Structure 1
Amino acid sequence: MHKKSVTIVRVDHGLDGTFGRMFLPGGTDRVSAEPPWKDNRTDVSCIPPGKYECEINESPHFGLCPEVLSVPGRTHVRMHAGNWAGDEAAGRRSDSEACILPGLRFATLKGQPAVSSSRAALAELMSAVSDGDPRPGVRFDLEIIDATGEAGKEWDNGTR
């Protein structure tokens, strides 16, 4: 069994979050939300664009979900269910402390841009990367491409 791959292409960013198109193994096209770029700061920023390995494991807070490994200067970055990823310091709603929230589609919920049906999208993601058997220890590759030209631009110096 070869390792699966997920690609996120970030397409929009602002105080309401960093939004992307998420392509699952097999070509399924979903969406994602992450917090705005804040210089890769723990708990408030999306992570730098680049290539990462992920592993499904048990989170004390979110249950079984993927963890993004080897993020520079960061730990416990996960892909978990949630709707909003806005800048809380600017008064926006957020279900993410620097994590990636998968969704079936973009939506506006309670007046703020978000992703919808996140639990269903997370289940789809977990199934797609694990050949239908999501379990601890399953690993897959994640590539994050920033098409906005904003988030993590100083990381685009050939070191990743």
Structure 2
Amino acid sequence: MKLVLQRQYFSSGTNGILFFNGKEICKTIELFWKDNQRRISCIPEGIYKVRKRFSPKFKWHLEVMNVKNRDYILFHPANDALKELNGCIAPVSELTGEGKGIRSRIAFERLKEIVFPYLEKGFVIELIIKS
């Protein structure tokens, strides 16, 4: 099972399209690339495992595992990367600018509806990030 995040980098944010097994799920927003610095950069391109995780703030969400020199990289709702993200990935329904989108909660729920059943059945899901 594969999630593929196809990124496009800009000076004030990173936009992407997220696919699951070849089908588009949603768009994504992230911070711009700043050498993988904690809390101010998107994570490096590569292959990661994702898992289901719960926190009081975000409830059930996805966590990207084994990111070099980083932790708690999550998929969670946000509509403005600079204002709402600290290195995480936000699903959005539509891109509106560099690192900006709309209807993130709708896109996030769609992502969970598609991916969670596989994780709950024990499937391993890889996230492949590329440009």
TM-score for both structures, normalised by structure 2: 0.88
| Number of aligned positions between the proteins | 130
Aligned to 2:5: 8
Q: Which has the larger radius of gyration?
A: 1
Q: Which runs of 4+ in 1 moved over 6 A?
A: none
Aligned to 2:73: 77
Deviation track 1:25-60 (CA, whole Å, cap 9, x = no partner) reads 461342100101111111111000000001011023
How far is 1:24 from its partner? Answer: 2.5
Which residue, out of 92, 95, 100, partners 1:103?
92
- Calculate the aligned-residue CA RMSD, in Å: 2.1
Q: Are the equivalent residues in 1 in contact too, given 2:25–2:110 (CA < 8 A)?
A: no
The amino acid of 1:7's aligned partner reads V
The amino acid of 1:50's aligned partner reads G
The amino acid of 1:12's aligned partner reads Y
- Looking at secondary structure, tell me which structure has more strand per residue: 2
Q: Are the equivalent residues in 2 in contact too, given 1:25–1:129 (CA < 8 A)?
A: no
**Structure 1 portions without partners, runs of 5+:** 87-93, 147-160
The amino acid of 1:129's aligned partner reads V
| Alignment CA distance shift 1:26-1:10 (3 Å) | closer
* Counterpart check, 1:116 vs 2:112: no
CA distance in structure 1 between the partners assigned to 2:93 and 2:123 by the alignment: 22
Q: Are the equivalent residues in 2 in contact too, given 1:55–1:138 (CA < 8 A)?
A: no
Deviation track 1:55-97 (CA, whole Å, cap 9, x = no partner) reads 01102321110000000001100000000113xxxxxxx2100
CA distance in structure 1 between the partners assigned to 2:42 and 2:9 by the alignment: 13
Q: Are the equivalent residues in 1 in contact too, given 2:64–2:73 (CA < 8 A)?
A: yes
Aligned to 1:141: 126
- Looking at secondary structure, tell me which structure has more helix per residue: 2
How far is 1:106 from its partner? Answer: 0.6
Q: Are the equivalent residues in 1 in contact too, given 2:15–2:99 (CA < 8 A)?
A: no
* Counterpart check, 1:53 vs 2:38: no
CA distance in structure 1 between the partners assigned to 2:4 and 2:105 by the alignment: 19
**Structure 2 portions without partners, runs of 5+:** none
* Counterpart check, 1:126 vs 2:112: yes
Aligned to 1:37: 33
